């Protein structure tokens, strides 16, 4: 695995496409995970680029032992072979600390002692209570001052996007009071370190892009290109996720799974009898214009054991 990111000697300008898939090891992959992995893989390979795998295990209390290996096995069963070494965020804690220290020197972060209960009393949106309190970073949460947040960007699928959701525009949490670094910090730092140029991910993460763009600017780093695909949901507002009891993928039928995922992504014309044939045809057919310009698409409720009541 490569060494840590240096804020003062940024990676050279991007000369080739680099994409990635970055799952959290909180359980096996489900149909929604496959859609995200497949879309990012196809975009990378259609552009003759690299497709990286990063295990986002920063929130250790939520991680499940052995889930990372199940994820790798599932990807390989579906022909989704990553390039290079697999990165684990749990091995990069010193990097994230160094980034926060550097941001502190720029005086763009501050300590925050507000509890979730207090924030809920303000409607669930953090109002910047501690911004001028000059609290130490140690033993407090750490927030990025986002008074000049970048809230608009061009998405390769959705077009011009302006983030307006109030929670997404608050001073971004970079480190929790218990010391765990936030997703918004580590995903940006790692994408910079790995030279990621294109990010294809679910629309459930669309609003976080504002915080990510703001952090890219603070780190003087080259901003990647974004493309947000619809998320799979069993009913409106109930996306497939481990928290919502999404059914694990059956890796004994990868061809069937791939064809279903391709249909979801607007590539129903792609056919093939083997994983290799299906992927080759999908790479040749991949275009942003085929992907539904929606934030979610309803799939069969049996994809979630929340509805079936049992694992099937």
**Minimal CA–CA distance to 58: which of 170, 173, 159?**
173
Decide: helix, strand or coil at residue 15. coil
HSE, side-chain direction, 13 A CA sphere, residue 2: 13
The residue range of the domain holding 135 is 18-308
Two structure tokens written together for 237: 């507002």
pLDDT of residue 312: 33
Tell me, yes or no, whether 122 lies in a domain: yes
**Minimal CA–CA distance to 122: which of 112, 111, 137?**
112
List Cα–Cα distances, 297 to 84, 167, 218, 226, in angstroms: 33, 24, 35, 19
Cα 114 to Cα 77: distance, rounded to the nearest angstrom: 45
Cα 19 to Cα 11: distance, rounded to the nearest angstrom: 16
Tell me, yes or no, whether 233 lies in a domain: yes
257: domain CATH number?
3.40.50.620
Tell me, yes or no, whether 276 lies in a domain: yes
Cα 150 to Cα 139: distance, rounded to the nearest angstrom: 29
Tell me, yes or no, whether 110 lies in a domain: yes
Core vs surface per residue 54-66: b (16+ CB within 10 A) or e = bbbbbbeeebeee
Decide: helix, strand or coil at residue 192. helix
Tell me, yes or no, whether 6 lies in a domain: no
Tell me, yes or no, whether 141 lies in a domain: yes
Tell me, yes or no, whether 2 lies in a domain: no
Cα 57 to Cα 48: distance, rounded to the nearest angstrom: 28
Cα 74 to Cα 116: distance, rounded to the nearest angstrom: 37
Decide: helix, strand or coil at residue 41. helix
**Minimal CA–CA distance to 218: which of 162, 144, 312, 168?**
144
How many structural domains is the chain composed of? 1
Kindly give the confidence (pLDDT) of every residue in the chain, 312 residues in length, as a single tens digit, with 9 standing for 90 and above. Answer: 333 344 434 555 557 999 999 999 999 998 999 999 999 999 999 999 999 999 999 999 999 999 999 999 999 999 999 999 999 999 999 999 999 999 999 999 999 999 999 999 888 899 999 999 999 999 999 999 998 888 999 999 999 999 999 889 999 999 999 999 999 999 999 999 999 999 999 999 999 999 999 999 999 999 999 999 999 876 655 565 556 566 789 999 999 999 999 999 999 999 999 999 999 999 999 999 999 998 777 665 655 554 444 433
Tell me, yes or no, whether 7 lies in a domain: no
Decide: helix, strand or coil at residue 168. helix
Q: What share of the chain is helix, strand, coil (3-state, %, to 5)?
A: 35, 20, 45
Decide: helix, strand or coil at residue 257. helix
Dihedral of the CA atoms 163, 21, 297, 237 (nearest 10)?
Answer: -60
């Amino acid at each position: 695995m490569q060494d840590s990111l240096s804020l003062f000697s940024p990676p050279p300008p991007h000369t080739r496409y680099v994409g990635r898939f970055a799952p959290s090891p909180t359980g096996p992959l489900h149909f929604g995970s496959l859609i995200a992995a497949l879309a990012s893989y196809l975009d990378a390979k259609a552009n003759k680029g690299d497709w990286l795998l990063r295990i986002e295990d920063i929130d250790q209390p939520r991680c499940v032992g052995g889930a990372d290996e199940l994820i790798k096995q599932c990807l390989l069963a579906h022909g989704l072979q990553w390039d290079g070494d697999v990165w684990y965020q749990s091995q990069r804690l010193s990097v994230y600390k160094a980034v926060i220290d550097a941001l502190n020197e720029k005086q763009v972060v501050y300590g925050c002692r507000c509890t979730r209960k207090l924030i809920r009393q303000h409607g669930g949106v953090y109002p910047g209570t501690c911004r001028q309190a000059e609290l130490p970073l140690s033993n407090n949460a750490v927030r990025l001052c986002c008074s000049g947040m970048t809230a608009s960007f061009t998405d390769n699928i959705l077009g011009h996007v302006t983030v307006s959701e109030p929670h997404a525009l608050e001073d971004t949490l970079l480190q929790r009071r218990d010391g765990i670094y936030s997703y918004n910090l580590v995903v940006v730092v790692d994408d910079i370190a790995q030279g990621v140029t294109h990010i294809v991910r679910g629309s459930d993460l669309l609003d976080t892009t504002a915080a990510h763009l703001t952090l890219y600017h603070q780190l003087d780093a080259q901003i990647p290109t974004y493309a947000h695909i619809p998320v799979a949901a069993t009913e409106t507002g109930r996306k497939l996720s481990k928290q919502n009891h999404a059914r694990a993928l059956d890796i004994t039928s990868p061809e069937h799974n791939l064809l279903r995922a391709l249909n979801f992504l607007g590539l129903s014309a792609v056919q093939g009898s083997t994983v290799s044939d299906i992927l080759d045809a999908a790479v040749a057919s991949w275009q942003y214009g085929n992907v539904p310009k929606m934030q979610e698409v309803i799939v069969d409720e049996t994809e979630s054991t929340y509805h079936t009541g049992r694992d099937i």
